[in-house]
């Protein structure tokens, strides 16, 4: 009987863990698609004020979307209560999945849609450094660095986005935590 209860408990934990990852993957996909579209709009229409305004609104909307996703998870999966750590973790997972999806957009942009994007960006940096009056030694140091590959930039984006998501997740977790104090006493 005791072994049967342990097996049931282990199965429940496995189902709960799988549902957490499934929830984060599904909702992270939505978030990643939005971030990827915003990225492409900003890259292809950098001077369009309406597009920039829409992208800014979209970036703010993603914060509200993450808030809604965590709240939905709390209500549907956690019985209305979630600890700070659980809220941080689900938010972090959302951002991690979103980072991978958005990175696909970035990679396709730099590798397929505009293969010269990084070298053009590198050249623009050189011009701005020249105009800023950098010495020839400083310019030589910069020239010694090679133009990064699309995959290097993509992984840098993933790392930066996950790091930023971890920080934002702290704030989201503080706002959305709701503990069942009656169950703890």
Q: How far is CA 129 from CA 72, 83, 126, 137, in A?
A: 48, 49, 5, 12
Q: What is the pLDDT along the chain (185 residues), one digit of tens a residue?
A: 555 555 555 555 555 667 889 999 999 999 999 999 999 999 999 888 998 899 899 989 999 999 999 999 999 988 888 989 999 999 999 999 999 999 999 999 999 998 888 888 888 887 887 788 777 777 777 777 778 889 999 999 999 999 999 999 999 999 988 876 555 55
Q: What is the DSSP string of 57-91?
A: HHHHHHHHHHHHHHHHHHHHHSTT-B-HHHHHHHH
pLDDT value for 125: 81
Q: How far apart are CA 98 and CA 161, in angstroms?
A: 9
pTM over 0.95: no
């Amino acid at each position: 009987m005791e072994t049967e209860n342990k097996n049931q408990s282990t199965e429940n934990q496995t189902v709960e863990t799988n549902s957490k990852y499934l929830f984060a993957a599904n909702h992270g996909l939505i978030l990643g698609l939005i971030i990827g579209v915003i990225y492409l709009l900003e890259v292809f229409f950098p001077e369009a004020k309406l597009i920039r305004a829409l992208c800014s609104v979209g970036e703010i909307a993603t914060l509200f979307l993450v808030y809604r996703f965590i709240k939905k998870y709390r209500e549907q999966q956690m019985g209305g209560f979630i600890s700070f750590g659980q809220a941080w973790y689900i938010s972090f997972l959302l951002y991690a999945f979103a980072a991978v999806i958005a990175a696909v957009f970035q990679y396709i942009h730099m590798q397929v849609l505009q293969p010269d994007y990084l070298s053009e960006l590198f050249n623009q940096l050189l011009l701005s450094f020249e105009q800023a009056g950098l010495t020839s030694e400083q310019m030589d140091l910069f020239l010694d660095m090679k133009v990064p590959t699309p995959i290097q930039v993509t992984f840098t984006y993933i790392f930066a986005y996950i790091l930023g998501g971890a920080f934002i997740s702290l704030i989201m977790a503080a706002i959305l935590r709701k503990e069942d104090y009656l169950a703890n006493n």
